[in-house]
Structure 1
């Protein structure tokens, strides 16, 4: 019986696995830890996904290989190519389709509304490597070696989301403390709900004609302040206090933790308004953004 192989164990990987399994499909999840949702339809395997041969054996007979893998943020330029090449190899050998979970980094700074037709013109290392990974998959698709597609998401919100908002804003707002953010708190920003990204991945994976291109996942357009205000109202917390980190503060933080240095590359996404057009996915598959309040409510139980 065909199954879906999911590489990764994060919030979107787990949400995608549950969605597929709840629909009656078999799912096999692969990660270094072997973690994943406790579901009768989900098989979890501990495996190093950079091992193309081992991953190919796990993928044998898969109808779809879904790549949600996300190595440490600071290692992308070095870690993504061997990992994504191994996943692409496994997808090709399996004879199944290949769906990648991506983001908006590959475009670089964009004026106006961002569509899937915009060139991948990023100048920074994380954006360039993200673009390169999709172009390799697209090349394999165009050569007839595999059917490939990419779903590009904004900053994640929702249960289990790992993002600037979940790390720096949510706990401070719930505690009634000042939240310092490496962003302009009042500019519109594209957020993607974990569940919406999962629904987009599943829709593309099950489609007959969603291949050979990228799709923008559904986006909730809101400022950080707006999202924080709705979160506080839902939780009964005080009115949020937000402030933007100065360049000096970000530089000093970077001296102690390389993560902060990585944020310079994507500053254009956090300090300038960014509009993302996700209408193509909505029109083709009917997958639209969930209401902001519902997505924020999903995040509260972990902090209660």
Structure 2
């Protein structure tokens, strides 16, 4: 039986843990807060920035899935370097494969659909942090010290996605509640949205297939749709008419909201993702492993049902 260790218990880490437990695999979830263990899932409290503690907590791991993330953009510069160095050290110490949950920040502003061959040219601070993480891990992979791969998705949505997702508290909740919506950027620009269960399934697929190691993979993602199209689709699935869609000024988010929520100031660097087309392709994954993305209507229906249950409770 494979020993799976998952770092982080957010929406992606928790979904990975649940899917693996359903298969009868051995699963450990490591997080700063820990928690009560469940059938098939052991929870362990550990600070991933502590290399010695993390190496001890991951002993015996065959595959490590990094689904952890600093709490906010404003913490990336301080927290990612020691955390990722500790993760690399732990995987190397145990000879475990490391599957990293990535994103598209590494590419920076682009004018064409992003593929795994798009150059890593992000000029932004957060993108540069992610590029260094990739380069550090691949250096160990290329030297034979580590088996590494990374799953990259666009903006995540789905059950469990809250304030840290554009299609979460900001958009899905008001649609469910029958209210109007304020979006960032161009509401009609095509945008790729990646469904959280598809991310989890991709991570598991990569961790169990030797063809995965040594390169990035784009998570299977449905065809791009604008924010307005996603909002209209949700309204249709709820049996309602069109939703009023407004546009929140960037200055308000960064300079007003950012006072109370420092993480929002970091949105300035990713403004290009919302002001124009932001499209990724994931055909490599489907061609290699056979996995296809969940269709948008199904993904949105499952997301809406999760929100309805949450709000009813």
- Aligned-residue RMSD, C-alpha: 1.6
Structure 1 residues 68-107: aligned runs within 5 Å = 68-73=67-72, 74-107=74-107
Tell me the residue number matched to 2:199.
Answer: 197
Tell me the residue number matched to 1:256.
Answer: 260
> What CA distance in whole angstroms lies between the structure 2 residues aligned with 1:247 and 1:292?
28
Tell me the residue number matched to 1:28.
Answer: 28
> What CA distance in whole angstroms lies between the structure 1 residues aligned with 2:238 and 2:182?
20
> What CA distance in whole angstroms lies between the structure 2 residues aligned with 1:122 and 1:14?
30
> What CA distance in whole angstroms lies between the structure 1 residues aligned with 2:50 and 2:234?
42
What does the per-residue CA deviation read over 1:204-247, in whole Å, with 9 as the maximum and x for residues that have no partner?
A: 00001210110001122211111111112222344211122223
Task: Compare 145-154 and 155-164 and name the one that shifted more.
Answer: 155-164
Query: Residues 19 and 110 (structure 1 numbering): CA distance in 2 closer, same or farther, change over 3 Å?
Result: same
3-state DSSP of counterpart to 1:6:
strand
> What CA distance in whole angstroms lies between the structure 1 residues aligned with 2:251 and 2:50?
41
> What CA distance in whole angstroms lies between the structure 2 residues aligned with 1:235 and 1:249?
30
> What CA distance in whole angstroms lies between the structure 1 residues aligned with 2:242 and 2:311?
18
Moved over 3 A (4+): none
> What CA distance in whole angstroms lies between the structure 2 residues aligned with 1:222 and 1:284?
25
Question: Is 1:275 paired with 2:275?
Answer: no
Q: Normalising by structure 2, what TM-score?
A: 0.92
> What CA distance in whole angstroms lies between the structure 1 residues aligned with 2:174 and 2:7?
32
What is the CA distance between 1:134 and its match in structure 2?
Answer: 1.2
* Contact persistence 2:17–2:41 (CA under 8 A): yes
Question: Is 1:148 paired with 2:148?
Answer: yes
* Contact persistence 2:49–2:79 (CA under 8 A): no
Q: Normalising by structure 1, what TM-score?
A: 0.95
What is the CA distance between 1:299 and its match in structure 2?
Answer: 2.2
* Contact persistence 1:65–1:98 (CA under 8 A): yes
What is the CA distance between 1:257 and its match in structure 2?
Answer: 2.5
How many residue pairs get aligned? The number is 303
Question: Is 1:17 paired with 2:20?
Answer: no
Tell me the residue number matched to 1:302.
Answer: 310
Task: Compare 58-67 and 249-258 and name the one that shifted more.
Answer: 249-258
User: Unaligned stretches of 5+ in structure 2?
Assistant: none
* Contact persistence 2:46–2:57 (CA under 8 A): no
What does the per-residue CA deviation read over 1:15-72, in whole Å, with 9 as the maximum and x for residues that have no partner?
A: 1111122122111000011148x74211111111111111111211111011010112
Which of 176, 179, 190 is residue 177 of structure 1 equivalent to?
179
